[in-house]
Amino acid sequence: MANDDLFVGLPPPSAVIPDTPIISRTDSSSSSSCSSAGVKVPFPALKSSLKREKPPQSPAEVATQKRIRFKTTTEASEAQVIEAMNKISSHIKNPSKFSKASKLALQLIQAESVKASTSDHFFAILEAAMASPSACIDPSVRADYQALFTAAQSVSEFFSTPQKEQLVIWNIRAVVANNLYTDDSFVFSKAAGKIKDAISSLPIATEEDDVEEVLPPTEESADPFGLDALLSKDSGKNEKQKPSEIREEGDRSQKLFLKSRRESLIQCLEIAAGRYRIPWAQTVIDILAKHAFDNIQRFVSPQREAVKKLWASIRDQQIRRKQGKSVSGKLDVTAFESLQEKYSHVKISIRRAIGGSGDHRAEQWLG
């Protein structure tokens, strides 16, 4: 009688079955016969000759391999960095070369080449780039100006106090003002908010500020911010200045910084007013112009007149919009309203439209 026990030849439940590799189809017959006999046959692992294990390495070989490195970058000396900065500053003032020169300046920032010892030379690059205040809003270089002066903020810790104040003014012109040309309503609103904060931070203009605004520039304005003395390496060899002279120079520099900041904010207001024809920007510009008008005493006399004219123009446009007119003077209507106006004067006969010739042949169908 045949043995019907299904568990013949199997190990007990408590035994641990070792992992065995997959057996090829040719060895299946021999393996089955061995298993039926209850004999365990260890199968060697089948390994390809292409995947042989590497022989163990000695600690000395491992340490030697760790020390091997391929040098992909070359560290420039400080003299080479300064020479590169001087070349960039000589070319960046050229509008046709600005794009390439600004990218090289960005590489210096990314390579952490701007340090305390080289910051003056890098600041000379920024000063050359802003030699013409209106160059930064040229459509062909707006993005490059924004990238350069945004990155310059990350190395401002190496600049002196007057340089930091000047960088703030340049950022208003090169970054914030260029954001007003965007087609993104969020970016536009954010830029307008920064302009509002900058206006609120201005001090109240005095009569002395008005007088200095009217006076023509003197020969001393060749170095308006007094940076030559601060950037000169031989400044320590000069004769010591009196405390009163130092205070006068500091006051003059602060007044010039304040004057330049007011001018940059007026430029931003003019750019925003030029975009008033865009419907989604009108509300933001309304709020910005109202804020400037409410803080008109923070500007000098000629600038106050400009803010008054801007606010008067905005008020006129608001009245026109309430009357249903757009900025161009035409009626502000939607497509539905224009079609409604068009067909309100057209006579359409219901019978003619249904019957075709007004012969009442559709009356039975209509019931």
- Enumerate long-range contacts of 295-300, CB under 8 Å, 24 or more apart: 295/199, 295/200, 295/202, 297/204, 297/205, 298/199, 298/202, 298/203, 298/204, 298/205, 298/262, 299/202, 299/205, 299/262, 299/266, 300/205, 300/209, 300/210, 300/213, 300/259, 300/262
Helix ranges, the chain (H)? 28-36, 59-67, 78-91, 98-110, 119-129, 142-152, 161-171, 177-179, 185-200, 207-214, 227-231, 243-274, 279-294, 301-322, 335-343, 350-355, 363-366
Q: Whats the size of the chain, residue-wise?
A: 367
Per-residue confidence band for 19, with pLDDT thresholds at 50, 70 and 90: low
**What digits encode the pLDDT tens for the residues 263-296?**
999 999 999 999 998 989 999 999 999 999 999 9
133 or 338, higher pLDDT: 133
DSSP for 174-233, written as a single string: IIIHHHTT-S-HHHHHHHHHHHHHHHHTSPPP-HHHHHHHHSPP-GGGGSTT-HHHHH-T
Q: How far apart are CA 34 and CA 231, in angstroms?
A: 93
Burial of 147 (0-12, 13-18, 19+ CB in 10 A): middle
Average pLDDT, the chain: 75
Query: What is the per-residue pLDDT for 95?
Result: 87
Q: Is the pLDDT of residue 68 over 80?
A: no
**What digits encode the pLDDT tens for the residues 21-43?**
544 444 544 444 444 444 444 44
350 or 110, higher pLDDT: 110
**What digits encode the pLDDT tens for the residues 220-239?**
444 444 455 544 444 444 45
- Enumerate long-range contacts of 181-189, CB under 8 Å, 24 or more apart: 181/137, 181/139, 181/142, 181/271, 181/275, 185/280, 185/281, 185/284, 188/281, 188/284, 189/284
- The letter for the amino acid at 201 is S
Helix (H, G, I), strand (E, B) or coil at 39: coil
Q: How far apart are CA 180 and CA 273, in angstroms?
A: 10
Query: What is the per-residue pLDDT for 9?
Result: 67
- The letter for the amino acid at 238 is N
Q: How far apart are CA 145 and CA 137, in angstroms?
A: 8
- DSSP 8-state symbol, 235: G
Q: Is the pLDDT of residue 70 over 50?
A: no
Beta bridge partners of 43: none
Half-sphere exposure at residue 155, Cβ-oriented, CA atoms within 13 angstroms: 24
Residues 6+ apart with CB under 8 A from 313: 273
Q: Give the pTM.
A: 0.61
Q: Is the pLDDT of residue 365 over 50?
A: no
Beta bridge partners of 325: 331
Q: Is the pLDDT of residue 76 over 80?
A: no
What average pLDDT score do residues 178-203 get?
Answer: 94
